[in-house]
Amino acid sequence: MNPSPGGAETRTEARLRAALAARAALLTPHDLRPAAAPEGRSWGVRRVYGAVLAAVAVAVAAAAAVLALLPAGVAPSPAPPAQAPTRSVPPPSEPPATPTPGPAAPSVADPSP
């Protein structure tokens, strides 16, 4: 705090300094220690039940919003009729008939013993 131009404290500043000093004297090293770690289960049955209930409530609200936003009794418009193809495709031609080969004949007429 800035002292007054004359160098003297006002009565309010003196009282404020005294109050802050008294409050600082109440602080002990025990108060400055970190808090103890929590013990036991971190998630209780009630917390899990509450989380599941909240998720179900959100799902129900979303479903209600979707149903409210959908138009009621409106049928989808019918699809337009199919159009004929613009160019014709020739029918597939049949492959030429090939004769089925018979049993193979021996290459030598008279085998010699």
Predicted confidence (pLDDT) per residue in 17-63, tens digit: 999 999 999 988 888 888 788 777 766 777 888 889 999 999 999 99
Handedness of CA 62, 68, 74, 79 (dihedral sign): negative
Residue that is written with structure tokens 């917390």 in the block: 47
Query: Span 67-71, mean pLDDT?
Result: 80
Q: Can you read off the two tokens belonging to residue 113?
A: 């013993």
Which pLDDT value is given to residue 90? 67
Question: Higher pLDDT residue, 35 or 104?
Answer: 35
What single-letter amino acid sits at 79?
A
Question: Higher pLDDT residue, 96 or 67?
Answer: 67
**Do 20 and 8 meet the contact criterion of CB atoms below 8 Å apart?**
no
